[in-house]
Structure 1
């Protein structure tokens, strides 16, 4: 290609060169001017000036000159201005232009095809009329500084190689000078920045820093140093201003070490070949000191407060020693290993349990000490070193001698200060004794569980925190009808009556306070309670318990409950009977006397005392038996109780005596009570008794009066009434007895009447007085009154009586005597009735009297009774005739009957019988 550079071009180049020389090196060049000059020199249609960054990886478009239509088209395709655009280095273009200052491209696409798609490039070239494209490199020492990219018109070739190359070289010099100046400026700025930074570090640093100049002796050897510069931290550390001081003035106890270091400096070839480092203690604080040569004749010293670090190191050392001591003397077996399973620490228990005590194994390998360790243990060790944790609460361990031990163990990694795993810790504990004890305990618990579940008493555990039963033995069902689950699921209040719940709370609270104050003492509580049953009834129980703490530390009460309901009922009955009369239900003498002492005070005056006696009790007992007498007393008691208020004291103080004690009651009010009682008793009559009482009354209205005197007055008053009341009652009772006897056995009524008539006839034949005849007739009528006490089954028996029954019948003469003797008007005939079964020969009953010792009236009754018995029909026999009866009487004369009376009877038999 022909170079068309002209002299005119060279002249223009000279002028441009002169202008470039005038450019200030501290100012950026006029890139647009340079690009336009290249456009003129090259006669191109469009020119682009690119400048490379210092690292050579990117370049930037600094100027554009030429046809603005081309520029607009390019900007539109990039959708942004390309001026000042930063581009990545194009390796393809680098390869095409390498080693050449000027490179021609026939078409635009050959140059920019990697930047824009070919169709776009071809369209731009066609529209803009671009033909050849030229790239002119701007280099300095083979370093790419930039380029001029020229777009030639279609009909024009680039022919300005010489002038363009020379211009590019001049521009390269400008860019090189600019980059050099920029580099120097950046270096100065960086240096200033670093100086500022180092000065700030020097001034503000917590390190104490000082700059020293060495002093030499006459032989040129260093002997000391003076301070040239120092920071505030250094001055603070040494405690004074270093101005005018030498290093030897502040070295203290380390002066000898410092001088030794100073003497070594003269033999050093390089500044950093010698350092001096030591620790200084000043005012109980530690300082780490460092000194080193900076350059010949000068050195720098630095100090830092390491007191906390030293304390930490001392604490760490102490901690390690303490840990070693603790581990060695721990009761548990502990071994600490490094990552290679070498021993670091071991406890004495570990040595003992593994039977290697007395051996020094620190630093030795675990697998060498125990060469027979199974592989699965080695696997566990390696997994722990990798970060895992393994443990077992109860593991079997077979020793080399074949014995079996139980072991609790844990294996876990330990960490270094940086968090890295440094090894493992193995905790082991021989728990053989504990396991055996647990087995024994389990057997014992099973035994006691069986005892608890089969015991008749209820065994329970009460948690005082939850106020719930946590255990209840099955026997609760037999006691209260509830299942154990029902009781455990219910609040504790459901297990007690309200009053017993209050007692339970107080008892437990008192016991808990004692237990907490002295946990080692066995605190036992015992109390009686009432508990509700499922059927609605309430029973008495006695519970006793002992406090303990469970595995959670909660206080529990473990106890046993047994049924005392029968005992409590008996106690209540005993207590009731101790103050009550068991027959009538009234208070007894003991209660009466206690209340009398309690009430005998001035504030209770007047006090009225009423004495009551049940008339005819003995007569009723004799006639009808003690059951009838008891009934008489019960009826009397019921009337007395009914006629008195509930707060008035009614008591039975004797067999047939009652007392009514009326505090704050005068005599008039007391008399009204007496009147009510008499009215209630009047006319009361039963089948076996006539209710009759005698009442006396007295009042204490003076505090000085003795109650015994009042009692005596009431008793005397009662006996006065009894004299008139009792006789009438007894007479009426005799009539009642006869009525009852005749009602029980009609035959006895006819028998008694016939005997009475026979007695009167015999008495007439014996020419007795009319009084005696009447008396004898009355005695004959009542001679069998004692049969009222004979059971109906015997009295009405048709067949012969047994010996026992006959003995019961023979008692009637004595019973009749007791009945009749209790009534004054019948006391005389009672003697006749008593002896009417005596025999002349002394073989009769009940006294075995003989002959004249038998009352004559009794002898007459005996003959009349025997004759009527012989001549009366019985169910088991026919009655005898007169002649047969007379023969029998004659036969028994002198044996059973009085001979004289029998003779008169037989002589006058027709008269007597008729």
Structure 2
């Protein structure tokens, strides 16, 4: 009875399970079928029991099973089939899974156990899971699911990418032991246990760090919640996180920046204030209080107009009112009331707008222009006085605007007397200032104005008078620059020198010989130069000579001996020249030789012979010493004037490098002046020259460049001779004005060198010796290779020598400390390559 009862219970269970069960005998007849299999076959169990599964075509279950059934029976092996499409009579297509197990007796087929399962739901579930996983993987945030023990059961693609791990390297791992910094892991794990047990709750949003596979620490902002089952029991936690590492870094930088700006405002010399929407003070800088001579308490809360002079209040009110309109900024000049009286301030206003596009606050930056205003009043008075002088002067005073359009802005009445054109004619035709220039001088005049380099000395220009006559003028012009350093206008004075020029031309024509030396004079030389400057006479060579120490000889032995020396020089030159060569006395102590059809190498031989002959006079009472320079015009395209200039430059360069007499050498004279003013010492200059040349050799500079370097080492600070000694020996900090004066010495040095033919070739080097490699130096802000290499070398050598030798304002440092300082400023103040060459040289 018990067995029967158990059989019935077992049959009931099998009959009601989800899978369909069919059992056949060895003849393929169904001996048992449960309710689920009958429903699949769309017949009753009674109809199906006894039917043959291999032959009955009307049974849906048989149709589904038959192919797989026959295979299992034939091979006597279990057959599995998954996701088989199946269409019943009253239902849509579903997916079935089969398992057919042959029953074997004595190695023969003895029936079949068939299990049919509807897997439509599972496949759909898997599909939904896949879709959900895809959604998680494309999410921009990190999604992590932890079980109750803190193990990772799910993590999306963003999370895996951030941690730099594969999915298999994360799933199942304890989150806190593997992905949280060790110093935070214990505390965070404890909080998680309390969270998962319901004893504690994470804030709505919280931050903690995670460690990536490469060891990088990232900051994540999390939101977490619990996952519960149908019974309300917590099974896991799910968290979404956003990587805020860059945001945190930016916040720290912003915090630092705000602190810097706060310090900047508090130490700013300009007046800084912030007003509310009603123009009441809500912030003032220390410099503001100092300027007004009032405390913060006396200013804050007061209206901006309270401290404005009554005559300026209307203008200031209009400026503040305009801030509500784009571009929300304005500038005004006004008088303000301080405890020390009235002062002038130039204010720059800028407003900030709220969401309603109304003024929320106003930032005011002011600058004391009291002295500027006083100067403007003085300038107006001076302008009136100078205008009166100009109106009554015999010279022509003019101002011409060049940009943005040509216009004559001022012209004194004397223009009519000199040129024949009235002031009004010039105003009506602005181009007349160019038109009256002689055709042969127009290019020179145009080049002069466009270059802005020839304004430091007067020049001569011919004008065409209204009646057709030629007027010679001597003009001094000053350029006016815009912020981009372009010449936008010129101020000038023109003087009629026609009578002087006529007299000069007459004298030039009548006098061709020097009465003392019996040589040709310069006038004749220039006439011959015009005649010989033809292709037929090429190569045309030029020798320039300058007698050294003539003034010393005149002062010591008298002018008679000086005259004798000049005659001896003339005879010496004659002895080495041919009949067709032109020898002339170029100036007071200068001689020139023009050699037609003479190559440069032969000219060099003549110079060599003259020097050798001079050296043989060393034992004479008055030895002959001449500085010589040469140049040759070898093709027609070369400008003869440029050739002459080259010869002069070579002569002056030779003269500067030949230091036989302090009185007879410009370099020695200037060097002596520097030493006398105690700017430099001879030892400092000698050390600089030696070290600079050594570095120049390491950089493979040419001999000419090394000569320039040697000369620059001596004269780089020549501009200091015009600056007061007090500024260079002053102890303590220099004022801005004093520092600006000192910073002008490169430009002054440039002007000195530029005005001297002997030094013109190093003028730009002198100008640039305080430029910085990164462009932050002065005066022109040159950088890198824009700075002449000689200037870059001198800058470094000077700095090194100053640091390693005691100065009036500080003690010397060691070589190592000096080299370290140079390396520290490499690529900013100094050329890194030259710094390395210096280090190699010192070591």
| Class of the TM-score when normalised by the shorter of the 2 chains | 0.3 to 0.5
Larger-Rg structure: 1
TM-score when normalising by structure 1? 0.35
TM-score when normalising by structure 2? 0.38
